[in-house]
Amino acid sequence: MNSRPTGDTQDGDVPSDDVAELVRSIRAGSRRAVGRGVTWIESRDTRADELLSRLGEDGAPSPRAFRLGVTGAPGVGKSSLVARLIGRLRTRGERVAVIAVDPTSPLSGGALLGDRLRMRGHQDDDGVFIRSVASRSGVGGLAASTDEVAELLAYAGYGFLLIETVGVGQLELAIAGEAHHVLLLISPEGGDVIQFLKAGLFEVVDRVVVNKSDRPGADETFRVVRQLATERDEPEPLAVSCETEEGFDELVEVVLEEAAALRRADKDATACVRMERRLRRRVEERWIARAWRRLGGVETAVQSAAQSVVAGEDRFADAVEALLHGGEFEPGGDSTK
C-alpha cells in the first residue's frame, strides 16, 4: 500500500480503496496504520482528506482530544518536559500522542530529528504514539499539517495530544491557534523572554513554566515572572525541574483540569476556527497548484521568467504580472487548460 504525493495531482482523482483498509486498521488500534495515515497527511497524499472524512463517519464519536501546546526557545527543555509529562499522564490513564515539530532537512524535506531519538522510554507503550513532523512551509514553529495530524490521532483514540513546537525562536505563536492550552517554557538562562512577557506575551500563552528550576538563578527568574503575572492578572506561573521532577505534580493537575473542562463542555469552541483555517489553507494549495499547471509547471515557468529578467529582456515587475496572468483561471473551470 504505497502512498502517492499530491504535488500536481489532478483535482478529480478518486481516492484509493486503500483508505477503507486504513480506516479499519486505525480503528482497530494499529499504531503502524496511524503512522501511515500521518505520512499521507504530511506528504499531501490525495487520500488524506478522504481518510479523515471516513474516520468521522459511521457513527464514530467526535474526537474531543485535549491539545496541549509546549513552546519555547531552543535548549529550554521542551522535549525533556514532554517526556516527563508522558509518563505522568499514562499513570493517570491517559492515552497520549506527541506531535514533535522539527526543523526540515534541506536534503530530504523530512524532520531533522527522528521520533526515536527523543522520549525513548515510551516507544514500546501501546498507549503512546510519538511522531516527529517536519515544519516544511509551516510558520510560527508548527508544521502546516499539525491540525490534520492532531485530528487523526484523536480519531485513533489518543485523548491527550502534546504538540511541541520546533524551537527556532522566542515567539512561536501559531501554536495558540492549534492548541486548547499553551505552556511557554523559559529557563534561568532565557533572560530575553522576560522582555517578551513585558511586551504582552502573557496574552498569547496560557501558562508560563520556569523549567530547570534546580539551576542557579531560577528563583529570581520565577520571582520576576510571578510579579509580571500578578500585575496582569494572569495565571500563576509554575516552576519545574525535569531532573528532580519538582513541580510536576502541580503541572499535571493543571493540565488535567484543563482537559476535564474541555471534555465537560457541550462543544469545542475552537474547532470551528481551526476548520476555517484548514479549509482556507487547502483551497489556497489547490488554487496555487492549478495555476502552476496552467503555466506548464513551476520550474519551467519561473526559470523562463528568471532568464528573461537577468538578460534584460523583461522587467521584474512585468515578469511577475505575466506569471500571475498566465496562471489565472475561472473557478470551476478546467484548471489544466
**92 and 54 both lie in a single domain:** no
Residue 94 CB partners (closer than 8 Å, separation 6+):
127, 159, 160, 259
Flag whether 123 is in a domain.
Answer: yes
Q: Quote the cell numbers at residue 255.
A: 493540565
**5 and 113 both lie in a single domain:** no
Beta bridge partners of 185: 72, 209
What single letter denotes the amino acid at residue 152?
A: L
Flag whether 317 is in a domain.
Answer: no
Q: From 24, 45, 60, give the residue that closes a domain.
A: 60
- How much of the chain, in percent, has pLDDT values that exceed 70? 77
**26 and 105 both lie in a single domain:** no
Domain that holds residue 228: 62-273
Flag whether 131 is in a domain.
Answer: yes
**122 and 28 both lie in a single domain:** no
Q: Is the pLDDT of residue 276 over 70?
A: yes
Residue with the bigger pLDDT between 260 and 277: it is 260
What pTM was computed for the model? 0.80
Domain count, the chain: 2
Average pLDDT of the segment spanning 117-144: 69
Residue 97 CB partners (closer than 8 Å, separation 6+):
65, 128, 129, 130, 131, 153, 156, 158, 160, 161, 162
Residue with the bigger pLDDT between 269 and 182: it is 182
d(CA 274, CA 255): 21
Residue 123 CB partners (closer than 8 Å, separation 6+):
116, 130
Quickly state the pLDDT bin for 61 (edges 50, 70, 90). Answer: low
Quickly state the pLDDT bin for 282 (edges 50, 70, 90). Answer: confident
CB atoms < 10 A from the CB of 242, how many?
20
**14 and 43 both lie in a single domain:** yes
**135 and 152 both lie in a single domain:** yes
Flag whether 279 is in a domain.
Answer: no
**49 and 138 both lie in a single domain:** no
Average pLDDT of the segment spanning 211-235: 90
CATH number at 241 reads: 3.40.50.300
For residue 135, what pLDDT is reported?
63
Q: From 273, 304, 325, give the residue that closes a domain.
A: 273
**55 and 105 both lie in a single domain:** no
With contact defined as beta carbons under 8 Å apart, do 75 and 185 qualify?
no
Flag whether 196 is in a domain.
Answer: yes
**104 and 227 both lie in a single domain:** yes
Average pLDDT of the segment spanning 55-71: 79
**66 and 56 both lie in a single domain:** no
With contact defined as beta carbons under 8 Å apart, do 193 and 208 qualify?
no
Residue with the bigger pLDDT between 306 and 145: it is 306
For residue 35, what pLDDT is reported?
94
For residue 289, what pLDDT is reported?
85
**72 and 216 both lie in a single domain:** yes
Q: Quote the cell numbers at residue 215.
A: 539551576
Q: Quote the cell numbers at residue 64.
A: 474531543
Residue with the bigger pLDDT between 303 and 172: it is 303
Flag whether 298 is in a domain.
Answer: no
Flag whether 325 is in a domain.
Answer: no
What single letter denotes the amino acid at residue 164?
A: E
With contact defined as beta carbons under 8 Å apart, do 100 and 132 qualify?
yes
d(CA 80, CA 134): 19
With contact defined as beta carbons under 8 Å apart, do 170 and 197 qualify?
no
Pairing relationship of beta strands 66-72 and 160-164 according to DSSP bridges? parallel
Closest listed residue to residue 163, CA positions, set 255, 50, 30, 263: 255
Quickly state the pLDDT bin for 326 (edges 50, 70, 90). Answer: confident
Q: Quote the cell numbers at residue 152.
A: 487523526
Average pLDDT of the segment spanning 93-117: 64
Residue with the bigger pLDDT between 180 and 60: it is 180
HEC per residue, 194-255: HHHHHCCHHHCCCEEEECCCCCCCHHHHHHHHHHHHHHCCCCCCEECCCCCCCCHHHHHHHH
Flag whether 130 is in a domain.
Answer: yes
Q: Is the pLDDT of residue 265 over 50?
A: yes
For residue 243, what pLDDT is reported?
92
d(CA 154, CA 176): 18
**219 and 231 both lie in a single domain:** yes
